[in-house]
Amino acid sequence: MPFVAVDISKEWWITHLRRVSGIVLLVDATDDKRFNIVKDKLDTVLALPEMKSVPIAVLGNYFDDVKAVEDDLRFELGLGYNHGRPIGVYMCSTVWKVGWGPTLQWLV
């Protein structure tokens, strides 16, 4: 499965969505001050009709930090209710290289 990484802080990121079969959104789960920015970007994707069947995996990074709480991440991103599409929320650590396996298994 080919992967393309896109920085969603850049304005052109949305042009890449037309060609995807899955999205992995990596979020710093300890930086709750920026959850609203992530939520805005996620809401943009969720509002696109052509993305309705595209699975979205939200990865909360730094799960090994006490400030990273999966329930808070779900709530702040508005993922506590059914969007009518496949959305998975997982916790990971890029430093310890854990959490990616279940996420990618779910995605495919």
Per-residue pLDDT reduced to its tens digit, 46-62: 888 888 888 899 999 98
User: Rounded to an integer, what distance in angstroms lies between the CA atom of residue 32 and that of residue 12?
Assistant: 25
* Residue 7 marked ligand-binding: no
Q: What is the DSSP string of 44-88?
A: HHHT-GGGTTS-EEEEEE-TTSTT--HHHHHHHTT-SS--SS-EE
63 is in an annotated binding site: yes
Task: Select the CATH number that applies to the domain covering 20-107 from these four: 3.40.1780.10, 3.40.50.300, 3.40.1360.10, 3.90.1150.10.
Answer: 3.40.50.300
Hey, where are the domains in the chain?
20-107
pTM: 0.83
Burial 2-28 (b: 16+ CB within 10 A, else e): eeeeeebeeeeeeeeeeebeebbbbbb
pLDDT for 1 equals: 59
Q: Is 82 annotated as a binding residue?
A: no
Residue 89 marked as a ligand binder = no
